[in-house]
Every structure is written in C-alpha cells, then in structure tokens.
Amino acid sequence: MRHMPAVLVVEDESAIAELIVINLRHNGFKTTWAMDSATAEREIEAALPDLILLDWMLPGESGLTLAKRWRSNNRTKDVPIIMLTARGDESDRVAGLDAGADDYIAKPFSTKELLARVRAVLRRRSPEQAGETLTIAGLSLDSATHRVTFAGELLKLGPTEFKLLHYLMRNSERVHSRSQLLDGVWGDHVYIEERTVDVHVKRLREALAQAGAMVETVRGAGYRLTAKPAVPISSEKQGT
C-alpha cells in the first residue's frame, strides 16, 4: 500500500487552513490541523508528521518559536518545516530559514504553488542512493544511514543540509553557482529564491563545525567543497 505523507497544518485562520487541508487531501496527503501552538505540540506528541506547514503568527507562541524548539529537539529535528506567513520581507524570510524552516511561502499563495513546495521538500527528505558512502579529507557521508562524520565524530545535519552536502561531495572541487545548486539540490522547484542557498550553506558550515571551512565561497561564482580549504581546518582557532 502506498504511503500517504502526513502533514500537520498549524494555522489559526480557519478559512486558510480549510483550503490547505482540502487541497492536500485531494492530492494524496493525510492531514491534521492545529490552530495554535499548544494543539500543535499535542499533535506532534501523538504522532510525528512527515512535514509541518507552520504559520508565523499564532495565538500564544509564534511559529518562529515553535520552529526553533522543534529543530533543537532530537525527536523533531529532522521533520521538514514550511513557514506560512504574510511577512514577505527578505529579512523575515531569512529569519524563518535561520529558525530551521526548510522553505517559506508568503501569503497569499496559490494551491498549485503550495503543492509544488510540499512535494519538493518531501523529495529532499527522501533517502539518497542506497548504500553510497562518500569520503573527502576526513569528512564522510553515508547515504544509507543518513550519517555524516568528520574525523570519526558524528555531526548533526538537517535534511536540506544533508542533501546539499551530498551534492557538493559528489561534485567536489567544482564551483557551483546558486542556480546550479538550486537545480541540483532543490530539483525542479522553481519557487525557491537564490538567497535561500546562502542561508542553507551557512547552516551547513555551522553543522560541519571544524569541517565547515571545506565549503568555500568563490567570489562572484558560487560555492565549492574542497579537500584543501584556503583556511586550514585545524587552524581556525589560531586566528587565521
């Protein structure tokens, strides 16, 4: 039997929530609706969804606060989050992504766009090629177990950062423009902005800790993963 992805819709405006829920159900998704943060927490405690559609402005705690908490919790840290909000400024979009959201949709949005984004985020979460292990200069990625280690130490990466690292490691030493990374990591998802790549590269570097220097910015061109970073990995605490 085909798996029906479960989506938790956290939205306090009932008209918008109903529209989302109906369209998701008609397109093969199992949906649950929570109209505030307390209800959302109870739903997640009862059953972990495959994806969360999270409104920014909610009664009680904000969606931003919830996203940060879920990302810091071992049980929920890998559940993809798409933020829904009327706040469309770039600073707000970046704040949502920095809080741990995988994508961001500004209201009003079309149901076609919403479905495209939901499917794209779920595709990014799906397992990579089974059994593939990549190792570069002590950095190792195992797609079968979804684990990343550096010098034998386990690192914690979100689903999008994992896929970004996987792409960069499979194409190491090559420079990739933001648009190339969008095509390679986000696929045919045409709604993502190039600025999103910068946010996820920043999050990837932070997650890689000492190995973060291996992800280099090539000014005016894009990004690359290299075994020989310009800033030596072992000397980042020496003021270099």
- In the chain, where the domains are located: 6-125, 133-235
Which fold is adopted by the domain 133-235? Arc Repressor Mutant, subunit A (1.10.10)
Distance from CA of residue 91 to its chain's centroid?
18
* Length of the chain measured in residues: 240
Q: Is the pLDDT of residue 27 over 80?
A: yes
**For all residues of the chain together, what is the average pLDDT?**
85
Q: What's the pLDDT tens digit per position in 150-205?
A: 998 999 998 889 989 999 998 889 999 988 888 778 765 456 677 888 999 999 99
DSSP 120: H
Among residues 117, 112, 4, 110, the alpha carbon closest in space to that of 54 is found at 117
CA angle, 205 then 208 then 209, to 5°: 90
When the candidates are 2.40.128.20, 1.10.275.10, 3.30.465.10, 3.40.50.2300, the CATH number that belongs to 6-125 is 3.40.50.2300
Q: What is the mean pLDDT of residues 94-123?
A: 85
Full-model pTM? 0.58
Using an 8 Å Cβ cutoff, are 103 and 113 in contact? no
Q: What's the pLDDT tens digit per position in 64-87?
A: 899 999 988 888 888 999 998 876
